[in-house]
């Protein structure tokens, strides 16, 4: 059996990106306005630098926003922004050493860009590079006002605000990192639980089938005894089947938790659908006429039952006001089973990539199928799966 990667299609979130772009854009405009109104520079080199200094804000702001488009390059973007900030500080220091002076220039966009990238590094990167880039960003943003304009100037107070912004970004990044680690642990637990449940069901199925084989062998053995046939082979088969059945029962007992009943698998797809779909006037059922006689593996039957049960449970839990729920189970010509549950209440998981959906995806992938979950046109929510009818 081949295993397909679970696929869940969920709506994206563009709100944070838009908010960041708006705030950074406003700060860039503020910085440029204040730079234009700043006092004159002293010296030719300082005057030339003042002409190009406002260009740093838009560049670092753009790099900060790009981290959402290129998350794998967060480290490079953070290093670039901190490096540009340190370069600006070094140029200002060189101008000061030459006896020239720049007027105090605000760097709000620069400070926010560094804070955003520091938070992203603490959230996404490995501990060592995250710590190194966080320290680099902290040094760049907090020391810049002091080194550029002198510790005794009012502009040096910008460093206190920048330090608070950097510290807040550091804390948020670490909190998100911890939350993501906990989420990964929860997802792993859900997947492990689903795999164990599937293993228990499959072992129940196998035990049931072995029992049938043993019964048939025993019957054939008795017939052979009455007709003076070869009983030795039947005796060996009966003994081997009984041993396999005993081992299977021990394994099933080890997998099953206390108080859990023996799983009784549906006999066919029609029975699976009948068990999973409750008697509800809101539910409109669209199924193939040949489900009861359709040749299909037992694990696909149990997966179909589980998929329908979980999807309809989510509708009752998250979309209780749904006026219509459409359940479709149809045999596709290319040897696939198409299973869909669509409701007009736009039910979605309680959390992004909800654990119920993860469990469904894990089970569907185990039998070689695919599953998609997400909103569709008309303010509806759809769970759609395709399962192979034969062995994967």
Residues 49-62 have pLDDT tens digits of: 666 555 678 888 89
Cα separation, 325 vs 333, in Å, equals: 25
β strands within the chain, DSSP E: 283-287, 325-332, 336-343, 370-376, 380-388
- 370-381 residue pLDDT tens: 888 888 887 888
Put the strands of the sheet holding 325-332 in their side by side order. 283-287, 325-332, 336-343, 380-388, 370-376
**Crossing angle (nearest 10°) for helices 15-37 and 56-69:** 170
Count Cβ atoms below 10 Å from residue 290 Cβ, excluding itself: 11
| pLDDT given for residue 263 in this prediction | 57
| pLDDT given for residue 310 in this prediction | 85
Distances (CA, A) of 66 to 16, 45, 87, 254, 317: 13, 32, 21, 51, 38
Q: Tell me if 390 sits within 8 A of 335, measured CB to CB.
A: yes
State which of 21-35, 111-125, 144-158, 246-260 shows the largest mean pLDDT: 111-125
390/114: higher pLDDT: 114
pLDDT at 384 over 80: yes
Pick from 74, 78, 44: nearest CA to 60: 78
pLDDT band at 158 (very low <50, low <70, confident <90, very high): confident
269/212: higher pLDDT: 269
């Amino acid at each position: 059996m081949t295993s397909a990667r679970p696929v869940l299609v969920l709506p994206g979130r563009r709100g944070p990106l838009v908010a960041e772009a708006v705030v950074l854009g406003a700060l860039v405009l503020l910085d440029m306005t204040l730079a234009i109104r700043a006092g004159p520079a002293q010296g030719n080199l300082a005057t030339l630098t003042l002409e190009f200094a406002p260009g740093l804000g838009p560049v670092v702001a753009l790099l900060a926003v790009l981290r959402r488009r290129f998350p794998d390059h967060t480290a490079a973007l953070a290093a670039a922004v901190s490096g540009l900030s340190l370069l600006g500080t070094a140029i200002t220091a060189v101008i000061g050493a030459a006896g020239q002076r720049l007027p105090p220039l605000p760097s709000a966009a620069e400070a926010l860009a560094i804070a955003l990238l520091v938070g992203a590094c603490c959230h996404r990167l490995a501990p060592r590079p995250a710590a190194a880039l966080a320290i680099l960003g902290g040094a760049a943003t907090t020391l810049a006002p002091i080194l550029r304009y002198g510790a005794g100037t009012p502009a040096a107070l910008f460093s206190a605000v920048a330090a608070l912004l950097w510290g807040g970004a550091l804390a948020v990044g670490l909190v998100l990192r911890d939350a993501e680690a906990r989420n990964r642990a929860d997802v792993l637990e859900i997947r492990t639980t689903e795999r164990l449940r599937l293993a228990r069901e499959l072992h129940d199925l196998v035990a049931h089938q072995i029992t049938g084989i043993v019964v048939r062998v025993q019957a054939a053995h008795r017939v052979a005894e009455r007709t003076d046939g070869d009983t030795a082979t039947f005796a060996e088969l009966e003994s081997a089947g009984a041993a396999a059945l005993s081992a299977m029962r021990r394994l099933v007992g080890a997998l099953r938790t206390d108080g859990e009943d023996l799983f009784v698998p549906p006999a066919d797809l029609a029975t699976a659908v009948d068990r999973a779909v409750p008697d509800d006037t809101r539910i409109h059922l669209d199924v193939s006429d040949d489900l009861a006689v359709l040749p299909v593996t037992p694990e696909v039957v149990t997966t179909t039952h589980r998929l329908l049960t979980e999807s309809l449970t989510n509708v009752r839990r998250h979309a209780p006001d749904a006026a219509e729920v459409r359940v479709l189970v149809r045999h596709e010509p290319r040897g696939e089973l198409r299973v869909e549950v669509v409701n007009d209440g736009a039910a979605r998981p309680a959390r992004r990539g909800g654990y119920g959906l993860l469990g469904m995806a894990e089970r569907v992938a185990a039998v070689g199928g695919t599953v998609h979950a997400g909103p569709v046109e008309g303010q509806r929510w759809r769970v759609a799966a395709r399962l192979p009818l034969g062995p994967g």
